[in-house]
Amino acid sequence: MALQVKRSFEGHHPDCPTFQNHTVQWKKKTWCAGCLGLFIGLCASILLMILYLAVDIQLTKAVSYVLLALGLLILPVVYVEILYQRKSAILHVFINSMLPISFFIITIAVEGLTGTFVYGFFTILLCFLWLDTRIQLSSWYHRAYCINCSESCKMYTAPV
């Protein structure tokens, strides 16, 4: 019978080799790279939205289409990056910081294309679904990494 290894969580990831690239060390603390990236992106998005509203920028239709395409292109990049177990934690922070920024870009693009607040509001609701998709994909892959890991701790094997 295999000895059960006791693990602790650092940055809400187990302190095992499988998840070492999922965390970053900063000021003697361990942070989840994905959550840190989302936090940075959310702060940047809030600042961008304040700037966007304060300056009262009027987007042309052409610029709105380009922004919409850019914002929609970022989504699969974020989702595909979750698939890679051997990733750089700093790259993971950066790519995850782009997700909330893509939400900002998509929202202002939809508002610029339609000129209607209601469509912008529905876009924000859609962004919540995209964020939940990112969370669900991450949880699913964490379980897959954990199940396939040679360590005996199996921290993520409980069904969600």
Q: Tell me the per-residue pLDDT of 44-74, one tens digit each, with 9 for 90 and over.
A: 999 999 999 899 888 999 999 999 999 999 9
Domain of residue 110, residue span: 11-148
Predicted TM-score (pTM) of the model is 0.84
Residues (pLDDT < 70) of the chain are 1-11, 85-86, 152-160
Assigned domain for 91 exists: yes
Assigned domain for 43 exists: yes
Assigned domain for 3 exists: no
Q: How far apart are CA 85 and CA 138, in angstroms?
A: 11
Assigned domain for 24 exists: yes
Which residue bears the tokens 């679904």? 129
Contacts of 32 (CB under 8 A, 6+ apart): 11, 12, 13, 22, 23
- Looking at the structure of the chain, the number of domains it has is 1
Which residue bears the tokens 């991450």? 138
CB contact at 8 A, 156 and 143? yes
**Where are the strands (E) in 7-138, listed by range?**
9-10, 13-14, 23-26, 29-32
DSSP 4: P
